[in-house]
Homo-oligomer: A and B are copies of this chain.
Amino acid sequence: METHDLTAMFLALGVLLAAARGLGELARRCKQPEVLGEILAGIILGPTIMGVLAPGLMAALFPTEGPAATALTGLTTLGITLFLLVAGLEVDLPTTRQHGKVAFGIGLWGMLVPFALGFGVALSAPGLLEQQPRVSPVVVALFFGTALSISALPVIARVLMDLNIYRTRVGAVTIGAAFGDNLFGTIMFATILGVMGAPAQTGWWIGARVLVTLGFAAVMLTVVRGSVHRALPWIETHMSRSSGVLGFALCLTLLGAALSEALGVHAILGAFLVGVVVGDSTHFREQTRAAILHFVSAFFAPLFFATIGLRVNFARSFDWPLVLVVLALATAGKLVGCGLSARASGWTGRESAAIGFAMNARGAMEILFGLLGYQHGIISERMLVALIVMAIATSMMSGPAMQRLLRLERPRRVADYQGVTVFLQPLRALSREGAIRELAQAAGTVAGIEANALEAPLLSSEFAFPSPVASGVAVVAAEVPGLTAPLVGVGVPGGAIDFGASAEPADLLFIVLRSRSASSWQDKILADLARNLMDVRVRERVLAGSGWRDFLSRLKS
């Protein structure tokens, strides 16, 4: 590569990443999936907008031929592979097994019905779905069916957490079903893409291909899974703490991708299965998972999703009827498949519909598969755009729909709390113990209780279970027998207080004192506190305020 190509490569990467990260963050702030902003970045920089306004600039920034373009393609392909590694790491085999029968039923019917719907419509009305001329109608129908049947595990997990029902039975079953859905969906996609990539396609040959794919998946999930589980402790012990397992996981991913490509399956399957296999081992550390996740979501994923907009003209290929048909088929398929299966397992109608809407979220996986189908010539550009819009729309509707269906009351908020509170800013104390004492004393004075009666339980609770400091916030809670109303104290230290329990010091301290007969109401307040204060923006606002009323209003806003 010459100097000119290098400049072009760095510039293209830098501009794409900056736009994708910026708009991705904007989407996140609007409580939308980040992938929406990342795709938007590509739409703005690509033929849809910049290609119309400044075609020369676009051609200069993002050359479509030459070494810089090849290097960019190689890098985004690597990005897809690592994204699938992350997706695989999310799959939790034990959870899938635990809620086995019910989750399996919902997952299975949630795939079969949309698949049958998509397959049938594609075969019976090829014109509607922009049938590509040179591709076998059966392959297109298979692809379209699979595209409708996949769910987006990360989106679903996020929605369930936001609604605070991740740990409920509805949450667990939905996640279990989504895990299975992702596993089988990925295998099907990789098989279809592998079949498409090959020149000859007889029935026997395709059958052999499918058998090879299933064999590959089976070997990965049994033999390789066992070996990795046994190898990880050795690597942890004998290799560098920071990069030993990380390097090992990345090697496996690359080799898995190469092997699955060589077997005629798409590279994504190898990478995804490596993720499942590595993530399943109890010896795989959360830190390593986070290291991969952070780098992929800050670098590779934004680059990859932004390049979609560079290749596709969204304005030209946006086809309302097609978009609506795809959206309707996708939603109907999941609602009927998952909903009826859930209803048959004894859930109420509302719960069943909520599960259906959760599983209906398609998210980034769908977009990735759509793009690969487009690149392999299976679907048209208009169909790709319709799939992308469907993926984003179903992801955006799942949260609100579930909340309404399950009649979830808005989570109880700190701001609603009207009990005895003290707010001290700044705290005089500079130590953890002193700060707790100071807040307890103030709360005692306000509530007319001897300070020591509050201090002692707080300190002994803190001693027994030191509060971790998360995002600069420490919450110390204790039960006080005989307390008639709960007490909340908020303190803003003059300087950050070292809580010892974490490397991070605390710049905001809460004490929560509750009677022994703690109602769930109080737990909700605590949960809301935690949720709110983990959000850096809220914390910043809170720290800038003064006084309890102001504090509440800032929490509310």
A contact residues vs B (CB 8 Å cutoff): 1, 3, 6-7, 9-11, 13-15, 17-18, 21, 25, 28-29, 34, 67-68, 70-75, 77-78, 81, 197, 236-244, 246-248, 250-251, 253-255, 257-258, 261-262, 267, 290-291, 293-295, 297-299, 302, 431, 433, 463-466, 468, 471, 500-503, 536-537, 540
| Residues from chain B with Cβ under 8 Å of A238 in the complex | 25, 29, 536-537
* 5 examples of A-B residue contacts, CB within 8 angstroms: A9-B77, A10-B267, A71-B71, A246-B294, A502-B502
* Among B244, B258, B291, contact of A14 (Cβ-Cβ < 8 Å): B258
| Residues from chain B with Cβ under 8 Å of A242 in the complex | 290, 293-294, 297-298
Does the CB pair B291–A7 fall under 8 Å? no
Does the CB pair A261–B6 fall under 8 Å? yes
Does the CB pair B6–A247 fall under 8 Å? no
Known pairs A7-B261, A247-B21, A251-B14; A1 contacts B297 (CB<8 A) = no
| Residues from chain B with Cβ under 8 Å of A75 in the complex | 71, 74-75, 78
| Residues from chain B with Cβ under 8 Å of A433 in the complex | 463-464
| Residues from chain B with Cβ under 8 Å of A244 in the complex | 25
Question: How distant is the Cα of A258 from the Cα of B502 in the complex, in angstroms?
Answer: 39
Given contacts A10-B267, A18-B255, 14 further A-B contacts (CB under 8 A): A3-B197, A6-B267, A10-B258, A13-B254, A14-B257, A17-B254, A28-B239, A28-B240, A68-B74, A71-B75, A237-B537, A465-B500, A466-B466, A501-B501
Question: How distant is the Cα of A466 from the Cα of B44 in the complex, in angstroms?
Answer: 52
Question: How distant is the Cα of A234 from the Cα of B10 in the complex, in angstroms?
Answer: 26
| Residues from chain B with Cβ under 8 Å of A73 in the complex | 1, 67, 71
Does the CB pair B74–A258 fall under 8 Å? no
Does the CB pair B298–A247 fall under 8 Å? yes
Looking across the interface, which residue of chain B has its beta carbon closest to that of A534?
B241
Known pairs A70-B67, A295-B246; A236 contacts B536 (CB<8 A) = yes
Does the CB pair A17–B250 fall under 8 Å? yes
Question: How distant is the Cα of A215 from the Cα of B6 in the complex, in angstroms?
Answer: 22
A interface: dominant SS: helix
Q: How far is the CB of A9 from chain B (nearest CB, A)?
A: 6
Looking across the interface, which residue of chain B has its beta carbon closest to that of A538?
B237
| Residues from chain B with Cβ under 8 Å of A248 in the complex | 21
Question: How distant is the Cα of A326 from the Cα of B510 in the complex, in angstroms?
Answer: 64
Question: How distant is the Cα of A10 from the Cα of B67 in the complex, in angstroms?
Answer: 18
Q: How far is the CB of A326 from chain B (nearest CB, A)?
A: 28
| Residues from chain B with Cβ under 8 Å of A257 in the complex | 10, 14
* Among B11, B67, B503, contact of A468 (Cβ-Cβ < 8 Å): B503
Known pairs A295-B291, A501-B501; A74 contacts B466 (CB<8 A) = no
Q: How far is the CB of A350 from chain B (nearest CB, A)?
A: 33
| Residues from chain B with Cβ under 8 Å of A297 in the complex | 242-243
Question: How distant is the Cα of A73 from the Cα of B253 in the complex, in angstroms?
Answer: 20
Does the CB pair B14–A255 fall under 8 Å? yes
Looking across the interface, which residue of chain B has its beta carbon closest to that of A239?
B25
Question: How distant is the Cα of A304 from the Cα of B60 in the complex, in angstroms?
Answer: 28
Q: How far is the CB of A68 from chain B (nearest CB, A)?
A: 8
Looking across the interface, which residue of chain B has its beta carbon closest to that of A249?
B298
Looking across the interface, which residue of chain B has its beta carbon closest to that of A238?
B537
Known pairs A10-B267, A242-B293; A77 contacts B197 (CB<8 A) = no
Query: Which 8 A-B pairs have CB atoms at the shortest separation, nearest pair first?
Result: A71-B74, A14-B254, A243-B298, A10-B258, A14-B255, A11-B258, A7-B261, A247-B298
Question: How distant is the Cα of A465 from the Cα of B432 in the complex, in angstroms?
Answer: 10
Q: How far is the CB of A99 from chain B (nearest CB, A)?
A: 27
| Residues from chain B with Cβ under 8 Å of A81 in the complex | 10
| Residues from chain B with Cβ under 8 Å of A197 in the complex | 3
| Residues from chain B with Cβ under 8 Å of A501 in the complex | 466, 500-502
Q: How far is the CB of A31 from chain B (nearest CB, A)?
A: 13
Looking across the interface, which residue of chain B has its beta carbon closest to that of A17?
B251
Does the CB pair A1–B74 fall under 8 Å? yes
Question: How distant is the Cα of A294 from the Cα of B240 in the complex, in angstroms?
Answer: 10
| Residues from chain B with Cβ under 8 Å of A239 in the complex | 25, 28
Q: How far is the CB of A294 from chain B (nearest CB, A)?
A: 5
Looking across the interface, which residue of chain B has its beta carbon closest to that of A74?
B71
Does the CB pair A540–B237 fall under 8 Å? yes
Looking across the interface, which residue of chain B has its beta carbon closest to that of A500?
B466
Which of A244, A254, A255, A433 has the most chain B CB atoms closer than 10 A to its own CB? A254
Q: How far is the CB of A257 from chain B (nearest CB, A)?
A: 4
Question: How distant is the Cα of A17 from the Cα of B254 in the complex, in angstroms?
Answer: 9
